[in-house]
Amino acid sequence: MRRPKPLPWLKPGVFVGALVPVAAILFRAWRGELGANPIAQALNQLGLVALVFLVAALACTPLKTLFGWTWPIRLRRMLGLFGFFYGLLHVSTYTVLDQGLDWRAVWADVTKRKFIYVGASTFVLLVPLAVTSTSGALKRLGYARWKRLHRLAYVATVLGVIHFLWRVKRDVREPIVYGTVLAVLLLVRLGTYLRVRLAASAN
Amino acid sequence: MTKLGTPPPASDVTPEPLYLRRREFVRNAALFTATSAGAGGSLLWLMSGRRAGKKSSRSKGNPVDLPVARQGTESTNESRTPYRDVTTYNNFYEFGTDKSDPAELAGTLRPRPWTVRVDGEVQKPQVIDLDQLLGWFPLEERVYRMRCVEAWSMVIPWLGFPLGDLLRRVEPTSRAKYVAFTTLFDPEQMPGQQRRVLDWPYVEGLRIDEAMHPLTLLAVGLYGKTLPNQNGAPLRLVVPWKYGFKGIKSIVGIRLVEAQPPTTWNLAAPHEYGFYANVNPAVDHPRWSQATERRIGELRRRPTLPFNGYAEQVAGLYAGMDLREFF
């Protein structure tokens, strides 16, 4: 008899939970509960959720390092793809609903405003990661190259936090929270890297 | 005798492996539901700005009707932004930095009794009780466009009187070149002041000719009623050709001065917010364009007008000035 997969409920559960934000935004928009400026509200919330998923995807390996948990690793691809999914919804809301597909205004924004430039860069960096997220792509690229490419996830997430930080007018508490979490996650990885290097040089 | 009856035939008994599978299925279904609810709930909490524990303090006293003596001649015919939007989408950092915070949290403000100190370079400095002030000037309704520096706008029927009427009454001296305004400072009534998001109290200023301009209004109400707390009760400034942040709220001090006074947003970010802050589609905010705006309630952006559409009345005040330098 085939051994049943451990925690069969984990991935479907997170998948359904991850769709809650987009469902909530659509439901509130339909009910007229997104406030006086619904486009801005949807735009901000979609961007925030995208950042949450990017940070969550980067948390999987540190959780294994710190606590020995392996189950987050199984969620990593899905979390990253949800980051891209919400990033895509965020960018679409900006270009279609906010700017009304006025590409000249969008281009002017991207080139003139550094926070939008940084946000656009975040999204552009996520595209190759989403495209090569399949097992087939991993095989085609070879693990070493695939891994090197997917290090872009760090760059993208750092840029995402900077985009958030530069956007707020005055109250930086929320971006600082995400920046701090991200910094802790990166420090854990740095610790792993240094330990490996030290062990290697000791031999 | 055989109450229990005969045992069911062996073929009817659920085989043990299947019986265990059923229990496993129920368990997995429960864990699946808990996981999706946990993940979804956490995301909703993060989206709400993690404010589940924040206690709400809406205003208890409802705005009351005010007598309107006359309709202002400068009113626009554009359709008015609904009362609900005007009173739930506010920038009033004294009650929090989210647009929905002031409506939720401004109940702690006590707009009565209220006094305003008018002093500085005037012949008749005085502390005026708000109800006394209301008796001095007939209230008129002015429907003005309001353009926020964040590139959204509203159309609001204000109730008030020209600031110039009050200034003339206290008789400015020849040294009065500017007017400096101050918001109440009281972290008990204004909980947002417990954190140094801005340098409290909020201060604003106008050049004397801007202050005396007939469009410049001291507002005490909107939509025919007293100002709700979140809109700057009981007394606020309205300068329709300038960005909304010039419209200082809950004013306790008006001082006529000789030198240009400091202003809060200019102190916070001098390269982003100038002293003049005239609505100008040609001068962008460093982080976003000011060429267009979203009128609250509309889907498509509309072009922003120079001086917010009041150029005919006020452009002359800035003749010869480089509006890129004095933004």
Q: Is B53 within a domain?
A: no
| pLDDT confidence band for B7 (50 / 70 / 90) | confident
Nearest to B245 by CA among B221, B265, B222, B228: B265
The answer, for A166 touching chain B at a CB cutoff of 8 Å, is yes
Give the distance from CA A40 to its chain's centroid: 20
Give me B305's structure tokens.
Answer: 């007008």
Using an 8 Å CB-CB cutoff, list chain A residues near B298: none
The answer, for A2 touching chain B at a CB cutoff of 8 Å, is no
Is B53 a residue whose pLDDT tops 60?
no
pLDDT tens sequence across A170-202: 888 899 999 999 999 999 999 999 999 988 887
Dist CA B239 CA A1 (whole Å): 78
Mutate to test the interface with B, among A5, A9, A116 (most CBs of B within 10 A): A9
**Which SS3 state, helix, strand or coil, does residue B157 take?**
strand
Mutate to test the interface with B, among A5, A44, A167, A169 (most CBs of B within 10 A): A169
How many helices (H) and strands (E) are present in chain B, helices listed first?
8, 13
Sign for the pseudo-dihedral over CA of B74, B80, B82, B88: negative
The answer, for B83 touching chain A at a CB cutoff of 8 Å, is no
Side chain identity at residue B276, one-letter code: Y
Q: What percent of chain A has pLDDT over 70?
A: 98
User: What pLDDT, on a 0 to 100 scale, did the predictor assign at position B13?
Assistant: 75
Sign for the pseudo-dihedral over CA of B29, B35, B36, B37: positive
CB distance B129 to B265 below 8 Å: no
Nearest to B88 by CA among B75, B112, B105, B110: B105
**Average pLDDT in the A144-165 region?**
95
Cβ distance of B89 and A13 shorter than 8 Å: no
Q: Is B258 within a domain?
A: yes
Using an 8 Å CB-CB cutoff, list chain B residues near A14: 35-36, 39
User: What pLDDT, on a 0 to 100 scale, did the predictor assign at position B58?
Assistant: 77
Using an 8 Å CB-CB cutoff, list chain B residues near A178: none
The answer, for B88 touching chain A at a CB cutoff of 8 Å, is yes
pLDDT, mean over chain B: 92
pLDDT tens sequence across B68-122: 878 887 899 999 999 999 999 999 999 998 899 999 999 999 999 999 999 999 9
Continuous segment of H or E residues that includes residue A176: helix A173-202
Instruction: Name the residue with tokens 């005040």.
Output: B317
B15 or B76, higher pLDDT: B76
User: What pLDDT, on a 0 to 100 scale, did the predictor assign at position A2?
Assistant: 57
User: What pLDDT, on a 0 to 100 scale, did the predictor assign at position B54?
Assistant: 58
Q: Is B121 within a domain?
A: yes
Cβ distance of A14 and B39 shorter than 8 Å: yes
Lowest mean pLDDT among A91-95, B14-18, B269-273: B14-18
Distance from CA of B147 to the nearest CA of A (A): 14
Distance from CA of A173 to the nearest CA of B (A): 10
pLDDT tens sequence across A96-125: 999 999 999 999 999 988 999 999 999 999
Q: B234: cis peptide before it, omega within 30°?
A: yes
**Which of B32, B40, B197 is closest, CB to CB, to A9?**
B32
Note which residues in 279-308 of chain B have CB less than 8 A from chain A: 284, 286-289, 291-292, 294, 296-297, 299-301
CATH number of the domain that B170 lies in?
A: 3.90.420.10
Expressed in percent and rounded to 5, the helix, strand and coil fractions of chain A are: 85, 0, 15
- Residue in chain A lying closest to B198 (CA): A170
Distance from CA of B167 to the nearest CA of A (A): 33
Cβ distance of A108 and B100 shorter than 8 Å: no
β-strand partners of B143: B157
Nearest to A71 by CA among A12, A7, A18: A7
Tell me whether residue A108 is exposed, middle or buried, using C-beta atoms within 10 angstroms of its C-beta: 0 to 12, 13 to 18, 19 or more. Answer: middle
The answer, for B270 touching chain A at a CB cutoff of 8 Å, is no
User: What pLDDT, on a 0 to 100 scale, did the predictor assign at position B20?
Assistant: 73
For chain A, domain boundaries: 10-202
**Which of B97, B287, B294 is closest, CB to CB, to A170?**
B97
pLDDT, mean over chain A: 93
Determine the structural domain holding residue B271 and report its residue range.
Answer: 70-318
